[in-house]
Amino acid sequence: MNNSINHKFHHISRAEYQELLAVSRGDAVADYIIDNVSILDLINGGEISGPIVIKGRYIAGVGAEYTDAPALQRIDAHGATAVPGFIDAHLHIESSMMTPVTFETATLPRGLTTVICDPHEIVNVMGEAGFAWFARCAEQARQNQYLQVSSCVPALEGCDVNGASFTLEQMLAWRDHPQVTGLAEMMDYPGVISGQNALLDKLDAFRHLTLDGHCPGWVVKNLTPILLRVLKTARKLSAGRRTPEITTRHVVDDPRRVRCPAISTHWHR
């Protein structure tokens, strides 16, 4: 499987790395330095004082030790506080009645640098053509718009009336797309628990990527068969279901991570 999503998150070329090292050592000139700024410390709490040093696409350093570092341009933040880019870990952009481009225009300037999208609303109407359109939009965005492959079209067989289908064969055509992070929320969780082969085939096909769950009103008894298929995030856990029995089974309660700040090495001016 050659999905390149990990490279997007982690890969820095050797040349870029050498440049960053030189800037961080003070042996090379940064492109920008943002002065008069505090950085929110999400790990330890509090704030870090000192400038932010930027080289190319990356932050090369932060903190008071870079106060006198050389730069092509210095920007005065006038005492503002800088925070890492925000990530929305589960989103249906089309439900906002906006295109991905319009959504980016509205949210990127407000700090939302990354979104993980499940476009199942448009896929329910248009099938693979809708997913393809969404992927083309995401490829052109400056915002990090990643996709999960919609797993349930319709959401629940025999319950919903929709306008299209999205077969496993069609889903597999998108598995290795560079914008794809994994399989979107498995809304037909009763089908997984009952062992329906069509659903288990989808989980098997995406088992090396992220698998998102969906569990309104789950009971602990149902966790073991679900976790055997490696679903590790859970949408729609009610407040009464966020129990030690659930959290000790390593299920991430998705609403708690949605819209939480997360470290981003990329700088969006």
Per-residue confidence (pLDDT) for residue 7, from 0 to 100? 43
94 and 60 within one domain: no
228 and 102 within one domain: yes
Instruction: From 217, 178, 196, 204, select the one nearest 2 (Cα to Cα).
Output: 178
Q: Domain tally for the chain?
A: 2
For residue 129, how many C-alpha atoms fall within 13 Å in the half-sphere facing its CB? 4
Is 212 within a domain? Answer: yes
Per-residue confidence (pLDDT) for residue 82, from 0 to 100? 93
Is 158 within a domain? Answer: yes
Range of the domain at 55: 14-82
Per-residue confidence (pLDDT) for residue 193, from 0 to 100? 81
Per-residue confidence (pLDDT) for residue 76, from 0 to 100? 97
Per-residue confidence (pLDDT) for residue 240, from 0 to 100? 45
68 and 141 within one domain: no
Per-residue confidence (pLDDT) for residue 84, from 0 to 100? 87
Cα 134 to Cα 13, 118, 120, 162, 210: the distances in Å are 29, 10, 10, 18, 19
Strands 112-117 and 144-149: parallel
Taking only the tens of pLDDT, the chain with its 269 residues reads 455 454 445 578 899 999 999 999 999 999 999 999 999 988 888 999 989 999 998 999 999 999 999 999 999 999 999 998 999 989 999 999 999 999 999 999 999 999 999 999 999 999 999 999 999 999 999 999 999 999 989 877 777 778 889 999 999 999 999 999 999 988 888 888 888 999 999 999 998 898 887 766 655 555 555 555 545 555 554 444 444 554 444 445 444 343 333 333 333 43
> Among all chains, which residue has been given the structure tokens 């976790």?
227
Is 5 within a domain? Answer: no
62 and 124 within one domain: no
Cα 236 to Cα 201, 226, 257: the distances in Å are 24, 15, 12
160 and 63 within one domain: no
Contact 90, 254 (CB under 8 A): yes
33 and 141 within one domain: no
Is 31 within a domain? Answer: yes
116 and 25 within one domain: no
CATH number of residue 44's parent domain: 2.30.40.10
Q: How far, in Å, CA of 146 to CA of 93, rounded? A: 11
147 and 33 within one domain: no
Tell me the three state secondary structure of residue 126: helix
Beta bridge partners of 180: 147
212 and 160 within one domain: yes
Contact 253, 234 (CB under 8 A): yes
Contact 136, 110 (CB under 8 A): no
Is 155 within a domain? Answer: yes
Contact 32, 74 (CB under 8 A): yes
Strands 112-117 and 86-91: parallel
151 and 45 within one domain: no
Per-residue confidence (pLDDT) for residue 246, from 0 to 100? 46
